[in-house]
């Protein structure tokens, strides 16, 4: 057999593992797109008027989110999510305290899991889960800023004086989703993932 050809074949075989991460990224992306959520039917950006009221660091995290969290699904998936992480940053004790206040002052946030899922460190866990997916390319510094944005944004846009408008927005998405993807809706409902 032609030696040159053999070398070429060996080179291709050796390069295969290098190509694999890319192939895996595709399949995560395919997975993300094949499994829609109500979130995906909402806008994939925030209005400038809302964003400009946010602290500078949160605005920075938002920019990273728009880039990094739109690699497999669109940025609509995190932005229209029911997840709310209580304020308090990395401190568990502070988040627990904020959660207790929310339970007392806003009991409605705990009665409608399709609209609000309030849990300490929920965004922290999700950002880690997403960045650990094969093919994800999210630098740790940006991941931290994205988490901080999501913590701030959830409380700001989905609770307190904005709780009613958030409820209306989210219920509309779930209703549209049930009509558009009845099978997936039933699947998510059964898995308590809606």
Residues within the interface to ligand HEC (CB under 6 A) = 25, 28-29, 31-32, 35, 37, 68-69, 71-73, 77-78, 81, 126-127, 130, 133, 135-136, 138, 146, 193
CB of 156 to ligand HEC, least distance (A): 16
User: Which residue lies nearer to ligand HEC by CB, 102 or 188?
Assistant: 188
Residues 130, 69 contacting (CB under 8 angstroms): yes
Taking the least distance from each CB to ligand HEC, the nearer of 121 and 133 is 133
Task: Decide: 82 and 117 in contact? Cβ < 8 Å.
Answer: yes
Main-chain phi, psi angles of 76, to 5 degrees: -60, -30
Smallest separation (angstroms) from ligand HEC to the CB of 83: 6
Cα 36 to chain centroid, rounded: 12
> Furthest-apart CA pair in the chain: how many Å?
79
To ligand HEC, the closest distance from the beta carbon of 160 in angstroms equals 21
69 versus 99: smaller Cβ distance to ligand HEC: 69
For residues 169 and 42, the answer to whether their CB atoms sit within 8 Å is: yes
Which one, 101 or 186, has the nearer CB to ligand HEC?
186
Would you give the distance in Å from CA 183 to the centre of its chain? 22
By beta-carbon proximity to ligand HEC, the closer residue of 40 and 102 is 40
Cα(105)–Cα(103) distance, integer angstroms: 6
Smallest gap from Cβ 193 to ligand HEC, in A, equals: 5
Minimum distance of ligand HEC from residue 44's CB (angstroms): 12
């Amino acid at each position: 057999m032609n030696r040159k050809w053999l070398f070429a074949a060996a080179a291709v075989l050796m390069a295969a593992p290098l190509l694999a991460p890319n192939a895996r990224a595709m399949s995560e992306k395919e997975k993300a797109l094949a499994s829609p959520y109500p979130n995906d039917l909402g806008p994939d950006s925030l209005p400038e008027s809302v964003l400009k009221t946010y602290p500078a660091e949160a605005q920075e995290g938002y920019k990273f989110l728009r880039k990094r969290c739109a690699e497999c699904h669109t940025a609509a998936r995190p932005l229209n999510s029911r997840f709310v992480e209580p304020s308090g940053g990395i401190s568990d004790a502070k988040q627990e305290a904020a959660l207790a206040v929310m339970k007392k002052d806003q009991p409605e946030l705990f009665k409608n899991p399709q609209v609000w899922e309030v849990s300490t460190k929920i965004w922290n866990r999700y950002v880690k889960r997403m960045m650990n997916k094969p093919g994800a390319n999210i630098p740790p510094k940006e991941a931290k800023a994205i988490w901080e944005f999501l913590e701030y944004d959830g409380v700001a846009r989905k609770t307190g004086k904005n709780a009613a408008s958030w409820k209306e927005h989210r219920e509309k998405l779930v209703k549209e989703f049930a009509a558009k993807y009845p099978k997936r809706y039933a699947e998510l409902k059964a898995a308590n993932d809606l």
